[in-house]
Structure 1
């Protein structure tokens, strides 16, 4: 798994190349560099998850709690509103920086809120629905009273406390940047594994596997890295507009906690899949 974890960190490093504030880049990297064993287990878990068949009900539980494009869009939208509210009392130059920060935040969620459809880019919620429904055999995975396992929401609940609900808005922006950075590594790592699972375990053709997994593919390459750059720029502009110094120590601590919690969360998601015997043997 060492090779996969190197790939993961490679994607993260690539996203950080254009960050001019190298102290910020090092702070954000702190959690990745300090927890190699956890990242190895994280990658191993994804390999394990995409090497076996799973029951229909366990897959429904998994997809019910795994991703929420609408939830992510709501969180970033809330940050935009907070930025605009704070900008009202600032001088013109600072207010302009705040508006630029809000615009960068908006670029992160264009496809999540459906605006990408104006330019031929599918709504991410529709892609997630298609993927989950195809894999589960129906859209019953949406029935939260039946399939929502609280452990699948613990991590997103923690993220939500800090993005967008952190008492200090700059901390919400720090969490947003950290989330986009981790996503850059995760999507690029897991997408080929899920596609291989669809082909080798579920018997999909290569073309159909790519179609079903398009929710993952649209986040690969430079997409999440670009989202991270928007988040980092929003953080820089907000700090400048409000006269705050970027707290590198706090960001490094956030990075360490985020990586640890994300790795732990994937173990919990894997346990959801393993709770029953596969139905498609």
Structure 2
């Protein structure tokens, strides 16, 4: 989809691009199930008069430990049992500065992966293969961000993310390597020069550095407080040679496309924002549930 066709406040069709050819498709109903990184679409919708507001989101890093260390903490003497598989965790902390810190998208036996959608940026994400048998465990380690941290509009929210992603690209060496730092070094403001037992899984590669060079001060301070609090819940979480990889900036959409809570319709007649990109979900499962709810709303209208 290149563009929505809207006339007199109502959907009239979509402009499509197929293998370099442009064509229009006439319709009076569009379910807008875009992802949280559909930045060009957000700008297009704003220009078309679709009502959107910035929403709270979260940014931070990926944290990697040896999976065997996480297993030992979670399973104790049963850690080596083949019946248990790779262990998981889910941690959160309420910080003294009023922000929240939490882990998200924990990937047991997984890999940190590249997820940039724009040139000259570095974005990290995580995944596990079905066997979950990789050497490392990884998770997003995030701190909350509110519209007060930027200029309060949707463009400001996206530019806030872009600023972090471009800084990560610069600090990583301008070659799409991810900037990384040992947790132990990060907590004492010491640039990392070499790595320890944990070998980063991010490709194309990593650059040991000081993450203060690419993260805002409030993010750094919040991550430090969050790490210390989480270590009290999962001992060993702040092992010196655990790896922090920057930057995790796409945990959820930075905007909400407004819609009627009963009909699921936006201010544009026939346009139904849905899922994570529209600001109504925060992950695979909740996006799927929102899609079902949106489909049910449309079925009610049709019946």
TM, length-normalised to structure 2:
0.28
Larger Rg: 2
User: Greater strand share, 1 or 2?
Assistant: 2
Q: Which has the higher contact order (CA 8 A, sep 6+)?
A: 1
